[in-house]
Structure 1
């Protein structure tokens, strides 16, 4: 934690006043740190004078799209899931008053755990723990997709019909609004996806960005908390499976969205094993090729937005990883197009 100088995006005095009114057992002063990771909404660690710790989430500093960074929605989803088998941090509160710290935000408990993103971060897990993580990740996804949205108060989170069509419209619109150059593969993939939307079953809770590095793991590989719910909605659960498979790179892959994915290391399950376990848990046997192509295309649109916002300075300093996003977007668009025309 840093000293009196708070990170950009944090008003220490305003947030301290809010904590005193809304969070139990707080001893001032509060210290703040920008937590690494998080390519859209900003994530900060908060600690009080007694060492108690929380996490604060807020939108980017500027250059946001309407409805793209809804803090109340994120808070609501995780609070609702607290009564389900899906592990989420305990919510402390949501602040809609932008005068407190320049933007709305919410606060939750800080869960200890490993974020496993690249090969180096996978080192603390032995091969047995990596296998556990692979299986637990799928089992929790099955549990999420088995949650009845109405039973947890999320039945009105979003429309339930035409999920894929709505996603295609949304992300094509955001691509058009934020693209930094023209990519014919993106436009052609969008056209082919729109023509081939499969029949969709009952709408379930869809995380929207479900992958290994959006969970916190114990040293034995168990998932301690699922994070980053900003893209969560109601829709076709197979979209989550497609996205997970796109991020789950294997040793021989030429396209790796993360650049050096941890899942290339020995011990992690193969994509085929993940699919088999998900099908066994849900009974869903649908072909997944469309959903993988859709995930490649959608991720390209998402990363283009992140890339554009970084160029505009919405996250402060631009790190080296984001500098390569332009090339990653092109590779993802090409992969989506190839899957659709093969």
Structure 2
């Protein structure tokens, strides 16, 4: 891709990823069976039903369900052979149900279906939340004050999540406490190896290094696992987070995993839509890493994190492993998004960036 092509892709990110399209032939639903199931399990449901597929998202196919009186969102496991423990829509339903009951900004959950005979795989249905999903971290077309307010609202929502005691809201058994980074490093190594399509030296180096220099374990909290701007629905014209989306990777763990994952956006080059590295943050009105960390710590009531270089290396490694999983699904024909091939192409650059932080951390 040329520099001009890259710039055009960034500029067009909002239209590329926003909204819906016709349902991909690979992911068509049995509309009659779904209509019958909705009538039996979703309070107040009344058809007829119109179904479209959301453009965004790389993992679980996601659909807009529209009726004359209401709009819903359906998230399903992709059909076909999948990596172990991936695409856990039942876990998504569990965590958003608990958080919705606490008033945290998530979509209202309606019902979970574990009967794969209805549409071919497990799924759940939630309310559709109206608002904006912002796909480019640089927030083109906005004023500096608007950008700043959105970034502040984003970090405040993350801190609010991490203030919950999992036991107090019924999520004490949502994951295993302790040894979080050790377990996660092992998990993403396994997932990477399961979808590996060719040798990548930097990934091999990271797999050897990361378990040898683990940071100390922090408090056990609900970890979203993919907390970033384009997994938030913002109010149409204010900097209010109306819903946090895509809880597929959520578990119990160290909240610094979420914070440092959010912060890698500042390390990824600004030539990518999900990067701020090298951008003039002051001119854009976007808070710096230091400002973001300070606001998070104030809101979450925690000390400033140490070991950021290791945490950046880990998160970039994990993101590379996720992209490699997408590459594996492209190979197997089960990738849910037309943008999946470009995501798969990011594995090597992400691995190289991760290794550069690992070297700063002492590798």
Does the TM-score normalized on the shorter chain lie above 0.5? Answer: yes
Query: 3-state SS of the aligned residue for 2:346?
Result: helix
* Aligned pairs for 1:106-125 within 5 A: 106-118=124-136, 122-123=139-140, 125=142
Secondary structure at 1:220's aligned position in 2? coil
Picking from 153, 156, 161, the partner of 1:144 is 161
1:311 deviates by: 2.9
Correspondence for 1:15 among 14, 22, 34: 34
Distance in 1 separating the partners of 2:233 and 2:256: 23
Check conservation: 1:249, 1:256, Cα contact below 8 A.
Answer: no
Task: For 1:1-342, list aligned pairs within 5 A.
Answer: 8-48=27-67, 50-118=68-136, 122-123=139-140, 125-218=142-235, 219-248=237-266, 253=269, 256=272, 258=274, 266-281=284-299, 282-287=301-306, 288-315=308-335, 319=338, 321-342=339-360
Shift of 1:119: 6.4
Does the aligned pair in 2 maintain the 1:9–1:61 contact within 8 Å?
no
Structure 1 residue 255, shift from structure 2 partner:
7.4
Residues 208 and 240, structure 1, Cα contact 8 Å, conserved in 2: yes
1:161 is paired with a residue of what secondary structure? coil
- Offset at residue 322 of structure 1 (A): 2.7
TM-score normalised by L of structure 1: 0.91
Q: Give the Å deviation of 1:336.
A: 1.0
Report the Cα offset of residue 25 of structure 1: 2.1
Q: How much does 1:323 deviate?
A: 2.4
List structure 1 segments (4+ residues) > 4 angstroms apart after TM superposition: 1-7, 254-257
Q: Deviations over 1:153-200 (max 9, x none)?
A: 110011101010100110000100101111110111122211110111
Shift in Å, 1:312: 1.9
When residues 31 and 146 of structure 1 are mapped into structure 2, their CA distance, relative to the original with a 3 A threshold, is same
> What is the CA–CA distance in structure 1 between the aligned matches of 2:108 and 2:340, rounded to whole Å?
30
Task: Provide structure 2 residue ranges, at least 5 long, that are not aligned to the other structure.
Answer: 1-19
Pair 5,129 (structure 1): closer, same or farther in 2 beyond 3 Å: closer
* Cα pair 1:257 1:328 within 8 Å, conserved: no
Distance 1:94 1:243 in 2: 29
- C-alpha contact (below 8 Å) 1:54/1:109 kept by paired residues: yes
Q: Give the deviation of 1:5 after TM superposition.
A: 10
Shift of 1:101: 0.7
Q: Distance in 1 between matches of 2:104 and 2:275?
A: 28
CA distance in 1, matches of 2:219, 2:317: 23
Q: Contact (CA 8 Å) 1:2, 1:32: kept in 2 or not? A: no
Give the CA deviation at 1:278: 1.2
* Unmatched segments (≥5 aa) in structure 1: none
How far residue 223 of structure 1 moved from its aligned partner, in angstroms, is 0.9
- Other structure's SS at 2:101 match: coil
| Aligned counterparts of 2:272 and 2:257: Cα–Cα separation in 1 | 19
In structure 2, the residue corresponding to 1:324 is in which secondary structure?
helix
Q: Secondary structure at the match of 1:82?
A: helix
Distance 1:91 1:277 in 2: 30
Query: CA-atom RMSD, angstroms?
Result: 2.4
Show CA shifts across 1:70-89 (max 9, x none): 22111010000013353100
**Paired residue secondary structure (2:222):** strand
Aligned residues: 335
What TM-score, normalized by structure 2, do the two folds share? 0.86
Contact 2:263–2:289 (CA<8 Å) still a contact in 1?
A: yes
Q: Counterparts of 2:33 and 2:220 in 1: how far apart (Å)?
A: 40
1:4–1:40: structure 2 CA closer, same or farther, 3 Å change rule?
closer
- Tell me: CA distance 1:63–1:126, structure 2 relative to 1, closer, same or farther (3 Å): farther
**119 and 194 in structure 1: CA distance in 2 versus 1, 3 angstrom threshold:** closer
